[in-house]
Structure 1
């Protein structure tokens, strides 16, 4: 049942953005605050604000909080096709297959990396929320490739900090439509939830800073294979940035890909693979890196587009 909350803006929040003020008052993320504002569930002195409006001390807030949604716990069961690239007492690196989420989320009923590791008997760090223990970064359910999970509490702390401080080398290969101009470049554009609220993300003024570096490996007649390095790790970042360049990942219909090209190449999801992952080992301090091969569906599509050229 939704909960109605009414209260004045405290003096300490004078001049804050509405979404930031809500985040501090109620303890949820600014993204969640922006969703409530966009849904008309927030009033400031009786009026619906924009998320970037500033609040003044003493202004009256009326907020309708939705009922809490319980996040499902991981189901410990082996995940077919998920292979172990590397494992020691601190970390396990997997090659994540298609159709597998990193951890349980509301609305996801499929397999997860976390559940697969637990089901195969691997010890995982207990740090973090129970439904995503040991998870230090994520890949989309239909993005394949290298993903690291912490096994020790020390490794969890170390890797979370490394990802936050951007000292991890995350590289992806993406087959995108057309030919980016220039062939090598950087996309520096903030990302937030799409205003439509349909689950997509978008380049949005005032969103979270997001930086993607790309370089063309091979150009084909109708597509390009890119090497992509992420500085930040926003949800759907590569997919959003490539779409913003008008060169969406082949097969990524959510972000504007041409379905006829996807059908011709036999691709049923975005052509995007986390090809390598490198970071400082949490215990030894040694730089370690891991590579993964393309899965069968992506390799077949690449072979086809290469043959057509």
Structure 2
């Protein structure tokens, strides 16, 4: 199936391979370059090279080939295990790691690492996403819960649906938020103007994010966001909706304003009821060095 995108003024002079890697979910730059070589990407109905510079108004069309069946391989990748027993694993996913294999990300994912680490993972989400109960974006760091068997998986999914799972994130956003607390209750669905993004749209799925301000800096604010629901890109979309997009966000934010590899978002707190014992488990993890160094840099500037 073909997709298209019309270039905006903010896309002017960007390389075609870089632009498409930013706007196509789960597409890597090298993968886009392969499509360009095969003439699967056209600009104004003409094939172009990877170094083509975008002009405002260019109409870009692409056809993503049918994915080849993935062969999941166990890979000896370092994992930070925060908690593990016979039912669940809680991991601290680093920024830059994709959660499960997909086209363009067949290896190096959290699932590849989990398969090496343990023999059993739940199969409810199919062979490509064993054990995966929920996801966080590639460039978001932090806590994820993983199910080792189907009964544990079903329990954790039910808790997510019942909104009893505690999920708190730290984020650096643009601008100064004038009030200390807030709730964003706005439905999220596909952006009607750009199918590669999510947006607050009429008729979208219910989405609720609570936030509180942790610190103020010149031009930026450090916030804690608590998810009541778990829609795709929810915090990124909601903060953009209130005109405070995440720093470093290539999809929903302004052009790069801080030296970050992706959005400044960290899943710091995760709480759920153990699927077997019913005991309430709560975990907290500090953000990675890049995140804390950015906060310190902003404090020094102020």
Same fold (TM over 0.5): yes
1:253 aligns with 2:250: yes
Out of 68, 82, 86, the residue aligned to residue 85 of structure 1 is 82
Q: Secondary structure at the match of 1:235?
A: coil
Out of 60, 74, 77, the residue aligned to residue 76 of structure 1 is 74
- Note closer, same or farther for the CA distance 1:183–1:70 as it changes in structure 2 (3 Å cut): farther
CA distance in 2, matches of 1:150, 1:136: 7
Counterparts of 1:66-145 in structure 2, within 5 Å, are 69=67, 72-80=70-78, 82-109=79-106, 111-145=108-142
Counterparts of 1:16-27 in structure 2, within 5 Å, are none
- Note closer, same or farther for the CA distance 1:177–1:167 as it changes in structure 2 (3 Å cut): same
Give 1:152 shift.
2.2
Match of 1:163 in 2: 160
Match of 1:283 in 2: 276
- Note closer, same or farther for the CA distance 1:208–1:215 as it changes in structure 2 (3 Å cut): same
CA distance in 1, matches of 2:269, 2:111: 20
| Contact 2:247–2:253, Cα closer than 8 Å, also in 1 | no
Match of 1:303 in 2: 296
Give 1:99 shift.
1.4
- Note closer, same or farther for the CA distance 1:198–1:79 as it changes in structure 2 (3 Å cut): farther
Give 1:94 shift.
0.4
Give deviations 1:274-297, integer Å, cap 9, x for gaps: 001000010110100111111111
Unaligned runs of 5+ in 1: 3-65
Give 1:165 shift.
1.5
CA distance in 2, matches of 1:197, 1:249: 19
CA distance in 1, matches of 2:183, 2:244: 14
> Number of residues paired by the alignment?
241
CA distance in 2, matches of 1:110, 1:215: 37
- Note closer, same or farther for the CA distance 1:251–1:88 as it changes in structure 2 (3 Å cut): same
Give 1:70 shift.
5.1
TM-score, normalised on structure 1? 0.73
- Where in structure 1 do 4 or more consecutive aligned residues deviate above 6 Å? none
CA distance in 2, matches of 1:214, 1:106: 34
